[in-house]
Structure 1
Amino acid sequence: MDPTALRRAIPEVVGILVRRGADFASAEDAVQTALLRAVERPPAEEVRDVRAWLVTVAWRVFLDQVRSESARAEREERLAREPEPGSVPQHDDTLGLYFLCTHPTLTASSATALTLRAVAGLTTRQIADAFLVPEATMAQRISRAKQRLAGIPLDQPGDLSRVMRVLYLVFNEGYSGEIDIAAEAIRVTRQLAALTDEPEVGGLLALMLLHHARRPARVVDGRLVPLAEQDRSLWDEPAIVEGVAVLQASLARDRLGQYQTQAAIAALHADAPTAAETDWVQIVEWYDELLAFGDSPVIRLGRAVAVGEADGPRAGLVALGGVGEEVPRYHAALAYLHERAGERDAATAEYAEAARRATSALEQQHLLRQAERLRRA
């Protein structure tokens, strides 16, 4: 069976089981078991309706669980009277499942893990690989998250902004060798966009597409390549075209939000044939719009670099003055602006400090090469 079609059906199938009487944790476990049976199913056995098949198998798994775990005849009888899953209802609980998996009672990491499992359909091992933690640790995290959600109905109103924030966290997890987590985040966000009338969801989807389009050029021969030095012919042009189209449709709704604003900045980078032709003045203006949604040191750091490109490195250094050195990549930005200002010794020292604070080996190696390059100049 097509793995993508199976994962696409998961949120709705979990919702159907919950409406039939299963609690969320049991429904999610039953669907995961059904997914394993789908993988084991002989390829020659064609399934015309993946969704209906998944409902049927998952519901039978759930009934088996109930019968083995409880001898209470009344509950058994009530469950047995539920309709056989030959005809699957069209009520879609997918949006409710998004809200449930990102419930305020969960931490960001738990919500992210549970979304990957219950909405995206990844296995516990795949999620553990993405987070670089042991499978047992991830299993405990997901189990605790499901326990916290016990008794919370699917139709409870939820916070769409929280859902988008969790999906963005999922996207930023990147990818593992087996499952492309970023691609899964894009797929799930597409589903969310089809379920809602919120232009910010389109903005989030556009932002993901535009960033994801640059991925083929970001690491070459095991080396991190900065945006300005990337081979733009490697960028995914169809993803850029789609991202720009989605962004334009969202902006036309005239309800600007932070994800649309970030996507607009990414679109300006994607639109430039070369780094030198980037419209930095307009990027600074979009950063000012972004700050209006919330003053963040990370945003101010990005704006300072853009100011350094638009108005010169001295102006960039002044803009960077209001950003604390504890902000990620602060020293890398400071090094870059010092180098552009011709202050080689200061730039060398800052590149070395940035490398010391780097959170990934690729970034650290890149920054060390920059420092060494200036030492030899």
Structure 2
Amino acid sequence: MTGILRADLDVGLLTNVRMGAEIATGLAVLTGRRLSMPFEQAISPAPRSSISESKQGRPATLLDLLELPVEIVHTDEWALHAGERTDAVNWEPVGAAVCVLDPDADLDNPQLLDFANGRTRFVTPPVSDMAVVEMQGRLLSFYSYFFYGRPEALRQLHAVLRGVRPRRPYVALGARIASGLSLFNAIHLRRSDLTIGIPAYGKVTPEDLAANLGSILPADELLVICSEVDGRDELFDPIRQRFPQLAFANDLILNDHGNEFFSLPRHEDNALGLVTQELASRAVGFVGTIGSTFTAIIQRNRLLRDPNQRFLFTADFTPDGPTYHHGEFLDIADGAYSWNRINYAMSPDVLAWFREWPEAT
């Protein structure tokens, strides 16, 4: 019988859970194992729900919302393997590690060192003769920043990982809503970025955000705001002054298309987030929040549709160092990879989840 690779669900919301599932799927494929996760476990709810409790229905699990392109071990079968010999592997924090596909790779190769971006821990897909390989801890990283290999091997792996994708009903609803809007632009804005006490965040005001958006997006076109905040919040007043045609993703999904949304197999906050990402992925222009994995999935979706898509952000919430201009972090240094050239002034392990990268294609 084929061996099993076991991994936990991430403790975050759907996007973080998806990232961990992508890494686990990659490791399962690379080691020729079936994938086991606590598929029966519900994904954490949003801390501030946009949906009344009476309408949320049953909490969503990973397999309720996402397809996985790998043979999986369901919960009832996993229970039969409780006494199997297990090889425990712990790479935490996984963002500080580089998974090198070729076990014979030259670790002094300049391109590999550029990829590592200051990371010094190199691992390879776990090889074991035990029935179960258990990946311990969080697997929180974008695959674009984690797996390193020859170009053809990476292309094949990335093609498989693109199979970790939303189930069709959620994609279809997001696409229908986008089609009904015709041409529109979208932004993702987190209120917490403007209210919590992080010094770098405190330098950015709602007025700054509105000014930045005004330099990036046409003011006479419909702007759809994706946010956990009620559209009446004063946070959006400066944006309203610049963009008279304004709509909120939550209103479009929960009100204008409420019957369709609440007819989905799951219709809680993670399902809402999934439909929102599909909607924003189809905008003409999109500007996201740096440091948000939610934004990152939208930007990846758009990149996979159009490799020329630019990664645009509402503001620079990062420590001093990179050059932010008209929504974009510009290349200011040398290196084989975009993270080398942008040169964020932060620990390399943080960049594993801080944003998605053009290398995701």
Does the alignment reach a TM-score above 0.5? no
Say which one has the larger Rg. Answer: 1
More strand by percentage = 2
Higher relative contact order (CA closer than 8 Å, sequence separation 6+): 2
TM-score for the superposition, normalised by structure 1: 0.27
Which protein has the bigger helix share? 1
